[in-house]
Structure 1
């Protein structure tokens, strides 16, 4: 059997994400046949014995790749386990056909589309900073949104970790004490939408991710998951490969960006 890098084996079997596997290997927590593993080490998953913290983990050279779309409700953290005892998305996919881990994050108070997989290469492709897969959010704020704020969100606002890249922003609904925005971003910073809104003095009341690249949340119910079709996996893979790193100039977002519909 062809030998495979150990971190890929761990991620493809849904044991650890690629990043967590690399961290565990670097910390000396992973052994192969009783000896400390090294980053990039190639193994035969059908023969070699892998252990993490002294506990053997089951691996296979033939793993079915699973790709899930989950509607993450508010109140769940995007981890497989939590030291603070909070509800984790792992509880929502425990009946999935394989152990999967999240691609990216949604914070505890946000909801919407979350992808999970046991395919480490696919996860890395979607999350890699150079690919900038578009993510679309329905954002409810408590204030009336000025034209200046819409323009600022569209062209980029200054945050503590640098100016945000241009975004697509439009107003979907507006009534006293409530405005609903649609915001599409091409970055993956921590709590980015919330921080962008705070930067222009907007208070987020509800944040829902409705799309990742060409994949939409659709009619999926809260807390429910479904497997992606082969066509959907191919579509988002293509979107990631074709995405260009955004320039620090306004993109070609279409007539609705930064304006009221």
Structure 2
């Protein structure tokens, strides 16, 4: 089994992140640092990440959280800020977040130890829809919506086409929903900044067919077998 797949199936992280661990010399096989991305792990090999022995997961866990603002989406934080892991209850296996929501964004966040699924959900080629609800400054008009839907340039990168629905206009702000399938850093906020409508509030309300519904912020629950099936179909 290729080293990145082995690490992913151990529940440590996704395949792409596993490649980074290998490249950074943080992976050992039988006591030797491995930097070859295509290295094949044998059945009796001892594999370590950051000097900690790992092995293939026997049981997969799938959780969703309604992330509150004020929490960073990392396993730990060098600045000692609260992380989403502080909200995870005790579970049988170690899980990690799939993708990220920035500190000031709330909403649906998936946690699992299924590295294959995590990789499929986050890889750009899979085009998994992510739906957000937002409140932006100013009155967003239809021409501006069309500009965003066609894609805008952010630091030399053009965003992929998206779908936007205006929900309500207030005196000096607009509530809208947006569906994207990318996951660039602060993408939605930066998109709206390009047309002069900074985002005040941002909440992810769905990933594929999985919806946050009326789940209270800060709560975590297990996905049902049917939800897991749908998630894998989306990926």
TM-score, scaled relative to structure 2: 0.91
Which residue in 2 is equivalent to 1:113?
Answer: 108
- 1:217 and 2:212 are equivalent in the alignment: yes
Quote the Cα distance in structure 1 between the aligned partners of 2:130 and 2:111.
Answer: 15
Aligned residues: 234
Identify the residue that residue 40 of structure 1 maps to in structure 2: 38
Match of 2:166 in 1: 171
CA contact (8 A) 2:30 2:47 kept: yes
Q: CA deviation at 1:80?
A: 0.4
Cα offset, 1:94, TM superposition: 4.5
* Correspondence 1:10 to 2:43: no
Change (3 A) 1:199 1:107: same
Paired position in structure 1 for 2:16: 19
Q: Structure 2: how far apart are the matches of 1:225 and 1:40?
A: 36
Which one is further off, 131-140 or 6-15? 6-15
2:151 match: 156
Matches of 2:70 and 2:118, distance apart in 1: 24
Asked if residue 227 in structure 1 is aligned to residue 225 in structure 2, the reply is no
Query: Within 1, Cα distance between the matches of 2:140 and 2:24?
Result: 48
**1:191 counterpart = 2:186:** yes
**What is the CA-CA distance between 1:180 and the residue it aligns to?**
0.6
CA distance in 2, matches of 1:23, 1:99: 20
Q: Per-residue deviation at 1:237?
A: 2.0
SS at match of 2:126: coil
Asked whether the equivalents of residues 153 and 167 of structure 1 are also in contact (C-alpha less than 8 Å), the reply is yes
Contact 1:13 1:99 (C-alpha < 8 Å) held by counterparts: no
State which of 119, 123, 148 in structure 1 corresponds to 2:118.
123
- Which residue of structure 2 aligns with residue 91 of structure 1? 86
The separation in 1 between residues aligned to 2:7 and 2:71, in whole angstroms, is 25
8 Å contact from structure 2 (residues 12, 115) kept in 1:
no
CA–CA separation in structure 2 for the residues paired with 1:235 and 1:196: 29
- Aligned-pair CA distance for 1:112: 0.4
Alignment CA distance shift 1:99-1:199 (3 Å): same
Equivalent residue, structure 2, for 1:78: 73
- The question of whether the paired residues in 2 share the 8 Å contact of 1:11 and 1:120 is answered with yes
Secondary structure in 1 matching 2:176: strand
Q: 1:187 to 1:29 in 2, by over 3 A?
A: closer
Distance 1:219 1:144 in 2: 28
In structure 2, the gaps of 5 or more residues are none
Deviation at 1:144, TM superposition (A): 1.4
Distance 1:135 1:157 in 2: 18
